[in-house]
Amino acid sequence: MLISLDWLKQYVDIKEDIKQLENTLTMIGQEVEAIDIQGKDLENVVIGQVIEYGKHPEADKLTLLKVNVGEEEPLQIVCGAPNHKLGDKVVVAKIGAVLPGDFKIKKSKIRGVESFGMLCSEVELGLGEDGDGIIILPETATVGQEYREYAGLDDVVFELEITPNRPDCLSHIGIAREVAAYYGRKVKYPDYTVSEIIESINNNHVSTRIEDKERCKRFAGRIIKNVTVQESPEWLKKRVRSMGLKPVNNIVDITNFILFEYNQPLHAYDMEKIEGKQLVVRAATPGEKIVTLDGMERELNNGELVVADENKVLAIAGIMGGENSKVTEDTKTIFLEVAYFTPENIRRTSKNIGLASDSSYRFERGLDIENVPEVLDRAAALIAELTGGEILHGVMDKYTEKYEKIEIPLNIPRLRAFMGKDIPHDTVGTILTNLGLGIKTLDQNTLLVTPPSYRGDLSRPEDLYEEVIRIYGFENIEDKMPVEEITPGKEDKGIAIVGRAKNVLAKVGLQEVINYSFVSKEAIEVLGITEPTMVISNPISEDMSVMRPTLRYSLLGNIRDNLNRNQNDLRFFEVSKVFKPGEEGLAEETYRVAMALAGKEDKTLWNPKPEAYDFFSLKGFVEKFLEYMGISRYQLTRSEDKNFHPGRSADIKIGKFVIGTFGEVHPDVAEAMGIKKERAYIAELDLTMMMQYMGNTVKYERIVKYPEVTRDLAIVLDTDVLVGAMIDSIKKTSNFIEKVELFDIYQGDKIEEGKKSVAISIVLRKKDGTLEENEINTTVEKILGLIKKSYNGEIRQ
C-alpha cells in the first residue's frame, strides 16, 4: 500500500520528520517497506523564460536561446525541440543536474556553440511519455522556482506492508486514524457538501435489485447528470500519480482518489448504456461474456457475481467494470455505485477468472459496510464540483443484512498481567477512545468495548490487548524474565541416535547432504522398487510426487550433479526418514543412513597419486560407522540387491535380519541416473532397526603388557569364496587371536584360473604371559586346517 505524506497531512497533523514517522508506523504494526522521496532526481531543475530567440549558426533545426533562470546572467542554451518561442516559460536543467537514468547535465559544445544547460521534456524528467517537445508552462509560473516544488513533485511516498486483518489501513484515512491514535491527535475528515437538485432519483431513471443476497449485502447509488468529462485538475492528477496510477479523466480519477482516501471501491456507469433502466446484481449464466476495462474478453462459466442490465453484463462485481458501460468524453449522466460484496466470493471469482485489481484486493479483505453512504456522498460531491454535474435528490440503497455492533468485555487486571505492566486504567480508556472504539464501564475492573464498523478484526479481549500494547508502545514495556520451575525433559531416543549417527559420519570424513523427502515416479522405475509407495495427491511438481522409500536415488542424484560440475572427490552421507504406506492410509516412517562415494581423493602433498574409491573404501566407512555406533556382532554376506553390481556388494546381517546393503552401483542404474564419468558406491542402512542392537555402554580393558606376534599368510582360494566369512571363522579358532586383517588380493599369471591369492595378517597375543613357540605353531596349524576344510584353501607356494 502506497501512502503519500503530503496527502496524509490533509487528515492529521504531522510534525515528525520522515525517520520518526517511519519508526512510528512500523511500531504500531504498519511496517514501512520502502520510502520514495519524489523529485530527488530534479535537483538543479528550475523554471526559466526564453528572453532571446535565434537560429543556430551551423544547424537549421537547432535554436540558440538566452534563458532567464532567476540568476544575474541568463543562460545560453542550444535546443533542438520544435515547440518553443520567445517569452515561453520552460523547464531548465542547469549544469550539475542529474536527471533520471543517471543523465548528467554538463557544459557542452553543440556544433561549435557552447550550451550551459538543457530545456526538458516529460520523458527526460521521467514524468511522462511525451518526448516530441519540451514542457511549456503557463505564464503564471515563477522564474527561478524549483520545478519539483512548482509541480508538486516534492512528496514522500511510504510503501507499507498491511497485514490481511487490517483492510481499514489500505487508505489514507485509515493510516491517519492510526497516526492520530498514537500521537493523541484528531483526525480531520473530508469536509464536503452534497448539493442536490429538486429532481429526485426514481425507477424512471433506473431501478436496482439484488438477486444474490448471499454475496451482495449492500448496493447503493446516486445519479449525477449534465457532467462534463474532461482532464482532471492538477491536484487530482498529482494524487492519482502518487499511487502509481495514470490519470484518465475527472470521473475515473475521482473514483480512484476515493478508493485510496476511504478504502472503498466505486464504479461509474454511463446511464445511456444501461438498457432497460435497471441494474441487477446476480449470478452470471454459463457462457455469458464481457470485455473488461483492460480490453480482455472474459467468459463466465462458474456463476460469477455480476452487475447487469436487462440484456448484458456491465461489470464483474467487485473486480472490474466492462467496456460496454464505461465513462467516455461523450458521457452526460452517470450512475455512481458503491457496494459491499462478500470477501470469500470476490477471492474465489478473482482466482477463477485470473483477474485481480485494486478493487478486488480490498473486497477480498472485507470493507466497512456502514461507510457506504458517506463514501457515496463524498464522491458525488467531488464529481459535481469537478464536472459541473447536478446530483439528483435521493439515494438508491439496497441493504439486505444490517451490520450488528458487538460488545467485548475487557478485564483490566488480565490486560495488565498479559502486558507485564501496571498500566493505568485511564491510559487504557484513552488509547481505546483514540482508536475510535466506544467504551462503557461495566465495573471497576471491566470495560465494555464496542469496535467501529471498520474494525472487523476486533472480536475478543485478546484483540484489545494487542491494540492497547501497540499504541502504548512495546518500547515502554520493561523486559522481565518469567520465573518458572521448569523440569528438563528427556531427549527422544530416536532423535539422539540420529544426531549421534550424523556426528560419527562427519568425524570419519563424510560430508552431509540434505535432500527433499520427495522423489519422482521415475525414481521408482529406475530403482526397480515393487513395494507400495506413498503417492502425493497434490504434489509441488511431477519431480516431487512420491514420498521417497529409499535414500539411494537422492544420493545418486547428488553424485551425478557434482560430477557434471567437475567435482571428483565425492564422499557424502545423509540421515533421514523414508516412507511407505501404513495403517489407515498413514505413512510408516523409518530412519535410514546412506553413504555415497565416487571419484578419487583430491591430490595433496601426502597423496600425490590418488587412487579411485572402490568397494573396500566404502566397506571401511561402513565398518567404522558400525563400530562407533556400538554394533559388533554382524556378518557380511553376498547381496542379491538388483541396484548393486553382482559380486561387488554385500548385505549386513545381524542374525537373520538384513540391516543394510552396500557396494558398487549396478551399471544399468548408474546409466539411468546419468552417472558416466566414475563408478558410484552406495551404502544404505536401516537406522531404526539398528537401534535395538546398539550397545549403550563402552567397555574398557587394561592394556596388555605382553608382546604381540604377527603371522602373514598367503592363501589360494576359489574366486567365489567370501573372504569376510573366512576371516570371521578364523577369529573364532583361538583365544590368542587378537586381530585378523586382509591386506592384499591377487589374481594374475601365477595364479590358476578360477583362483585368487588372499594375503592376511594375523596378530596373536596372550593376556597373561608371553606366547610360546608351540602355542603359536598350534594356533597357525588350526587356522590352516580350518581354511583347508571349510574353504578349500591352501598355502600359496
Look at residues 422, 468, 471 and name the one whose alpha carbon lies nearest to residue 447.
468
Residue 467 annotated in ligand binding: yes
d(CA 195, CA 597): 85
Grouping H, G, I as helix, E, B as strand and the rest as coil, residue 618 is: helix
d(CA 435, CA 233): 34
d(CA 99, CA 126): 8
Residue 640 annotated in ligand binding: no
Q: What is the DSSP letter of 407?
A: -
Contact 295, 365 (CB under 8 A): no
782: exposed, middle or buried (C-beta count within 10 Å: 0-12, 13-18, 19+)? middle
Give the neighbor-by-neighbor strand order of the sheet with 657-665. Answer: 511-512, 569-581, 587-599, 680-686, 657-665, 644-654, 635-638
**Do the strands 446-450 and 45-56 form a parallel or antiparallel pair, or are they unpaired?**
unpaired
What are the cell numbers at 628?
562407533
Contact 139, 129 (CB under 8 A): no
Contact 304, 290 (CB under 8 A): no
Look at residues 162, 160, 237 and name the one whose alpha carbon lies nearest to residue 5.
160
Residue 543 annotated in ligand binding: no
Grouping H, G, I as helix, E, B as strand and the rest as coil, residue 502 is: helix
Q: How far is CA 779 from the centre of its chain?
A: 70
For 32-91, the three-class secondary structure string (H helix, E strand, C coil) is EEEEEECCCCCCCEEEEEEEEEEEECCEEEEEEEEEECCCCCCEEEEECCCCCCCCCEEE
Grouping H, G, I as helix, E, B as strand and the rest as coil, residue 542 is: helix
What are the cell numbers at 111?
556544433
List for the chain the helix, strand, coil content (%; round to 5): 30, 30, 40
Residue 377 annotated in ligand binding: no
Beta-strand runs (E) in 317-356: 320-321, 334-341
Question: Which residue positions form the known binding site for Mg(2+)?
Answer: 457, 463, 466-467
Annotated binding site: 457, 463, 466-467
